[in-house]
Each structure stands twice: as structure tokens, then as C-alpha cells.
A = this chain, B = another copy of it.
Amino acid sequence: MPLPFNARRIAVVAPHPDDEILGCGGTMARAAAAGAEVHVVVVTRGQPPLFEEELVGWIRAETLRAHDIIGVADTQFLDFPAAGLDQIRRSDLNQALSSALSRIEPDLLLIPFIGDIHLDHQIVFNAALVYARPRGSGGPGCVLAYETLSETNWLAPGVTPAFIPNMFVDISETLERKVAAFQAFQSQVKPQPDERSVEAIRALATLRGATAYRYAAEAFVLVRQIY
């Protein structure tokens, strides 16, 4: 199996743990299996009083277990306050995220979508693109935005930016690993018909796959690709 995107170093930016699995867990697993170095940067951490300390500890452990299943090489936690990025000086966030990504030097960068309902996602999208500006010959040659069930369909697509994918990655061989990684987040898995159910994850993979004549796929919006 060849490396998807020919990418050797991949960085995935997750506003909150599990976004990266929902959005591109199968792609990460496929890339890792093919020899790419897959890095994740988790931007926020739940903090009291919005989130209980104990729960946050569990989620951290679940995250690492999920990343282990996927084959993530390294995970950085930036520990900004979850559901609180609007309170952060944007230049501080930009600097912290750019610094984390510079350590990775990815040739493929995967980020959440600006049309997601969670303000943290919108802010992270912008911050990640500040890092990705082609202001030198380095920098990621490809930037893709991923879709996140329970976020991407619930703002006002069509009024706010709609996720209209143009890039499809075959995950037929890694869908099960994606599902397993998501299930590592025990507190986050919901029963059908929730968008965060295993059934919804499988349905999305089947649908995105069918559009590209594949058994399962993850779909992305291309932000910029340079050859």
C-alpha cells in the first residue's frame, strides 16, 4: 500500500481529543501503516469548572490509547482551555500552535473545518492556516480540512461555510481501526441515532466511499496543495 499523499510527515490538529479520530482516524491509520510519521496536536484541555478534573484525566488516557491504536507517532497537548479559545489572545494561540507544528515540519496538515459549530474549531482553523502560510519554501505542501460528526453539520451549512468535500481517501482497510480508536473514548461514544454513534461513523465512511467507488473513505476539503 503506497503512502497516501506521498506524505512522510503528517500533522493533525485537534481542537479537542477525538476530533482527530472522527475526522481522519482512518487516514492517519493508513498513513501510519504505510510508514508515514503521524503527529497529533491537541489544542485544548477541559478545565474546571466547565469540565471535571477527573473526567479530563480519563480523556487524556483515552486519547493516548486511541492514538496507540491508530499508530500515532507523537501527541502534543497544548492545554488551552476547552470551550474557551475565544478568551485566549489570538497571537498567543497562533504562536503556540505554530511552534508545535514547526517542531513537526509536516508535509501534510489536517485541520478542523471553519464551518463547524464549535467556536474552538473555527478559531483553530484560522490559527492553523496562519502557520501554513506559504512564506517560504518549507511548510506543508498540502492542507486539508476534515469533517467532524456532531460539529460539521450543525452550524448552518449554506449560510455558514458548508463542508463540500473534494478529496477522498480510501480507508477500507483501516475503518475498523478508526472505529476501535473512537471507542477508546468511552465517555464520548453515544448510541444511535446520535451523530457520535458507531453507526453514524460507519454510515459516513460508506457514503464517502461510495461517492469515490470505494468501500469506505474519509472526505476532506482541500484548502491548498502545492506540487
Contacts from A to B (Cβ < 8 Å) = 4-6, 50, 83-84, 86-87, 89-91, 113-115, 117, 119, 125-126, 129-130, 133-137, 139, 145, 149-150, 153-162, 164, 166-170, 192-195, 197, 199-200, 202-204, 206-207, 209-215, 217, 221-227
Contacts and interface: CB of A to CB of B under 8 A. Distances in A.
Contacts of A200: 206-207, 210
A133 B193 CA distance: 13
Given A154-B133, A158-B158, A162-B162, A210 B193 contact: yes
B154 A134 contact: yes
Contacts of A154: 129, 133-134, 211
Contacts of A214: 193, 226
Contacts of A50: 91
A128 B113 CA distance: 20
Contacts of A153: 211
A226 B113 CA distance: 20
Nearest to A82: B91
Contact of A226 (B6, B157, B202, B212): B212
- Copies in the assembly, this chain: 6
Given A89-B86, A225-B168, A114 B193 contact: no
Contacts of A145: 156, 159
Contacts of A227: 4-5, 167-170
A161, A166, A192, A227: residue with the most chain B Cβ atoms closer than 10 Å: A227
B225 A210 contact: no
Which 6 pairs from chain A and chain B are nearest by CB? A203-B206, A200-B210, A158-B164, A134-B213, A203-B203, A203-B207
A203 B210 contact: yes
A200 B167 CA distance: 19
Given A86-B90, A156-B223, A213-B193, A130 B117 contact: yes
